[in-house]
Amino acid sequence: MLDRLSFPQPWLSLILFTTWQFLSEGISGASVVMGLLLAWLIPQITRGFWPERPAFIKPWRMPMYLLILLWDIVVASFSVARLILSPRKPRPVFVSYPLQVEHPLAISILASTISLTPGTVSADVSDDQKLLLIHTLDAEDDQSVIDAIHNRYEKPLLEMFR
C-alpha cells in the first residue's frame, strides 16, 4: 500500500504540480491539495507508457539549448516566410538522417527541434531507431542538411543524454 503512494517520476510530478498552481487563480489550500493529488495520480496512471527513467547527465545545459532553439525558431520563420512569398518553386528533398543519439527521449526532442527549425519537418523514425526521415522544403544537397542538424542540435543532445 505504501509503495503505491510514492512518486515514480519526481520531475514529472513537480512539473504537473507547478503547472496546476499556475492554472488555478492564485495559490490556495484547495489548489495545493488538488495539485498534489494530480501530481500523484497522473504518473501512476501513465506509468506503463514511460519506457524507462530518462538518463540526463547534464540537465543544466537544457536552458541554453532551449534559448538557441527559440532564436532559431524566429530565424526559421523568417526564412520560411521568404520562401512562401517568393514566386519560384521550392526544391523539396526527403533526407534520411543517421541518428547518433540513442535515448528515446533524446530522439523525440531532436525530432521536435527539427520540425521547428529552418525548412525541415521530421516525418518518421525507422523501427530500429537508427534513421530519421526529414522533409526539407528547400535544399541544395542532402549532406549540408545532415551536417547542419548534426553540428547545431545533435551534439549538445549527445552531451546531455547517455
Partner 1 sequence: MSTFVEYAISALLVIGGAFTLIGAIGLARLPDFFTRLHGPTKATTLGVGAIMLSSVVYFSSAGHGIGISEILITVFLLMTAPVSANMLAKAAMHMGVKPMENTRGNPWEQ
From residue 108 to residue 127, the character string flagging contacts with partner 1 as x (rule: CB under 8 A) and all else as - is ---xxxxxx--x-xxxx-xx
Q: Which residue has the cell 539549448?
A: 65
Beta bridge partners of 131: 98
Q: Which residue has the cell 506503463?
A: 48
Which of 13/138 has CB closer to partner 1?
138
Residues 6+ apart with CB under 8 A from 132: 96, 97, 99, 107, 110, 111, 114, 122, 124, 125, 126
From residue 55 to residue 74, the character string flagging contacts with partner 1 as x (rule: CB under 8 A) and all else as - is ------------------xx
Total chain residues near partner 1 (CB under 8 A): 36
Query: At how many degrees (to 10) do helices 10-23 and 29-45 cross?
Result: 140
From residue 14 to residue 53, the character string flagging contacts with partner 1 as x (rule: CB under 8 A) and all else as - is -----x--xx------------------------------
Which of 2/85 has CB closer to partner 1?
85
Which of 6/71 has CB closer to partner 1?
71
